[in-house]
Amino acid sequence: MTDSNPSVSNNFIAKIIQEDLSTGKVQKVVTRFPPEPNGYLHVGHAKSICLNFGVAEQFGGECNLRFDDTNPEKENQEYIDAIKDDVTWLGFQWAGEIHYASDYFDQLHDWAVYLIGEGKAYVCDLSPDEIREYRGTLTEPGKNSPYRERSVEENLDLFARMRAGEFDEGTKALRAKIDMSSPNMNLRDPIIYRIRKAHHHQTGDKWCIYPTYDYTHGQSDAIEGITHSVCTLEFEDHKPLYNWFIANLPVPATPTQYEFGRLNLDYTVTSKRKLKFLVDEAVVAGWDDPRMPTISGMRRRGFTPRSVRNFCDMIGVTRSDGMVDVAMLEHALRDDLNKNAPRAMAVIKPLKVVIENLPEGHIEQLSAPFHPELDLGSRDMPFTRELFIDQDDFKEEYSKKFKKKFTPGNRIRLRFGYVLECISYDKDADGNVTLVRANLIENTLGVDPEDGVKPKGVVHWVSASECKTAELRQYERLFTHPSPDKTDGDFMEYVNRDSLTVTTAMIEPALADVAAESNFQFEREGYYVADRYDHSPSAPVFNLTIGLREDKALLG
């Protein structure tokens, strides 16, 4: 971990590992995180990352990062780089070098030849549609392929010719010979190799046949000496096949698969296919758009690694799938930012205030701490004759409802500054207040007025002459329905087309120079982050991370 001690987990996976270590079943814990590089990782992957890396760290073991790169048409280097960044950003480090399933293609090929030699695999000429038809249904057994009883010699010859590129895609496949009447569909002679004449991002054009995930995964685990192969529940029905390959191949180790419930978050879509559709159709600005539930998008939105890890701890690890309220994620984020984010001031709806009893050109540097409790240092805030306050902090008439507002004849305190008293205001032809005139009450920096007339409230402000103009990107949830991909309609029907609005704000000059990805609480406004790519001193850009209150919604 980079910024906190690892939490001690007591979930059922951790208990299994503890038992295995105590009984001597394993001497050292080795886990792995095996994403397919066919898209960016999302919040569900964050749970798996925290689990696999977390338990390895907790028990003094290791966790490998292994890319499941068996489908070259949909994979590329951009996704690989993004995944590496995500894992690192969350605060984890993989053991040794990065692994790729393609590292083992030669060994996997040799083991396929071994299965053929053992009479446990055969080359099938059925088309993909015919293979599906022959497989049967959940209530009806499948039928044997007419090519199932080919001789070992013929299968070896055909498989070699498949590798040599003699056959077109879809014309032949290598299948394991298991049981076409098995109640588990995954054991009905699954495909081991298929013909794919595609360039591979790691192996180039060396191969024109590629192993399937089900064949590759367990053997990769065995090669790497994985002790606990942890995956989500949708792979539970694949476990018998995982075990069949391990039992029928001369693998160097015998890993065990364990399943846990995946993360389902309301108001969120996590299907990579649907996320890619949002990107391809320009509904969002990319995989790392701050509205996306990708780890990269959450990072750009202003999530911290600690808030994501805390959320994963909160929801726990169980043996059942369930829907998690997005409010839990928002709570973890808001709680972390409230405790740790520096404070600053930004005025989103500026109203100019002129302090009549200060001279033209007056400038004074007031010191303001970055955090009320943490020692995060302080910054200078230029105090000048002309200021901006928020329009909502001024009312033309006093009332109990607006008793903490700036009103004629009443006083307010500037945050970290002096007490002002309103003396008059100007309006435009439409009746809008355009300017407030005030007097400064002397000797009130940090103390109440000597005359005993206390200010009614405290407002945030910036210097009108010294402030900077920043672009604010205000985000709302991307989807309007709690289950956008589980309805009868198209999930696109529930896209919030107004999920992004862009406005400007007047900010403290110090905020223009902060580093990208710096989190702040803009006092009385919300939590914001300097955009990862677009923020600069000459053109500050801040993204709304989340509102100050629990009722301010967030992620889509």
Tell me the per-residue pLDDT of 429-441, one tens digit each, with 9 for 90 and over: 999 999 999 999 9
> Could you tell me whether strands 350-355 and 386-390 are parallel, antiparallel, or unpaired per DSSP bridges?
antiparallel
The predicted-structure confidence for 138-183, as pLDDT tens digits, reads as follows 999 999 999 999 999 999 999 999 999 999 999 999 999 999 999 9
From 66, 172, 188, 262, the catalytic residue: 262
303 and 545 in contact (C-beta within 8 Å)?
yes
More confident residue, 69 or 555: 69
From 194, 272, 405, 468, the catalytic residue: 272
Q: What is the C-alpha to C-alpha distance for residues 464 and 459, in angstroms, rounded to an integer?
A: 15
pLDDT at residue 5 in the model: 43
Within 8 A by CB and 6+ apart from 447, the residues are none
Write the burial class of residue 387 (CB in 10 Å: 0-12 exposed, 13-18 middle, 19+ buried).
Answer: buried
DSSP state letters, 393-446:
GB-SS--GGGTTSB-TT-EEEETTS-EEEEEEEEE-TTS-EEEEEEEEETT-SS
CA quadruple 52, 53, 57, 63: dihedral sign: positive
Tokens 């030699």 -> residue = 117
pLDDT at residue 8 in the model: 66
CATH 3.90.800.10 domain extents, the chain: 105-213
Which residues make beta-bridge pairs with 230? 258
Tokens of 16: 């299994």
pLDDT at residue 7 in the model: 57
378 and 344 in contact (C-beta within 8 Å)?
no
At residue 4, does pLDDT exceed 90? no
pLDDT at residue 10 in the model: 87
Q: What is the C-alpha to C-alpha distance for residues 528 and 337, in angstroms, rounded to an integer?
A: 10
CATH fit for domain 346-459, picks 1.10.10.10, 3.40.50.920, 2.40.110.10, 2.40.240.10? 2.40.240.10
pTM for the full predicted model: 0.93
Angle of the 213-224 helix axis to the 105-117 helix axis, nearest 10 = 110
Count of other CB atoms within 10 angstroms of residue 132: 11
The predicted-structure confidence for 441-496, as pLDDT tens digits, reads as follows 999 999 999 999 999 899 999 999 999 999 999 999 999 999 998 877 799 999 99
The predicted-structure confidence for 262-310, as pLDDT tens digits, reads as follows 999 999 999 999 999 999 999 999 999 999 999 999 999 999 999 999 9
Least confident of 219-223, 359-363, 547-551: 547-551
CATH of span 105-213: 3.90.800.10
Count of other CB atoms within 10 angstroms of residue 272: 19
What rounded mean pLDDT belongs to the chain?
Answer: 95
544 and 472 in contact (C-beta within 8 Å)?
yes
pLDDT band at 554 (very low <50, low <70, confident <90, very high): low
DSSP state letters, 490-540:
-GGGGB-TTSEEEEEEEE-GGGGGSPTT-EEEETTTEEEEE-TTT--SSS-
Tokens 């780890």 -> residue = 295
pLDDT at residue 551 in the model: 56
C-alpha separations of 102 from 66, 162, 216, 219, 411 in Å: 10, 18, 9, 12, 71
- Based on the residue annotation, tell me whether 36 is a catalytic residue of this protein: yes
Q: What is the mean pLDDT of residues 193-212?
A: 97
Q: What is the mean pLDDT of residues 358-376?
A: 96
317 and 9 in contact (C-beta within 8 Å)?
yes
The predicted-structure confidence for 491-539, as pLDDT tens digits, reads as follows 999 999 999 999 999 999 999 999 999 999 999 999 999 999 999 999 9
pLDDT at residue 354 in the model: 98
CA quadruple 183, 189, 195, 200: dihedral sign: positive
Which percentage of the chain shows pLDDT scores above 90? Answer: 94
Q: What is the C-alpha to C-alpha distance for residues 258 and 26, in angstroms, rounded to an integer?
A: 15
pLDDT at residue 3 in the model: 45
C-alpha separations of 67 from 105, 217, 241 in Å: 13, 10, 21
Helix, strand, or coil here: 546?
strand
Class assignment of domain 264-342+468-556? mainly alpha
Angle of the 326-340 helix axis to the 305-315 helix axis, nearest 10 = 140
pLDDT at residue 548 in the model: 94
CATH 2.40.240.10 domain extents, the chain: 346-459
C-alpha separations of 27 from 17, 241, 438 in Å: 10, 26, 74
At residue 556, does pLDDT exceed 80? no
CATH 1.10.1160.10 domain extents, the chain: 264-342+468-556
Q: What is the C-alpha to C-alpha distance for residues 129 and 402, in angstroms, rounded to an integer?
A: 71
pLDDT at residue 552 in the model: 52
Helix, strand, or coil here: 117?
helix
Q: Which element (helix H / strand E) includes 124?
A: strand 121-124
pLDDT at residue 487 in the model: 76
- Based on the residue annotation, tell me whether 262 is a catalytic residue of this protein: yes
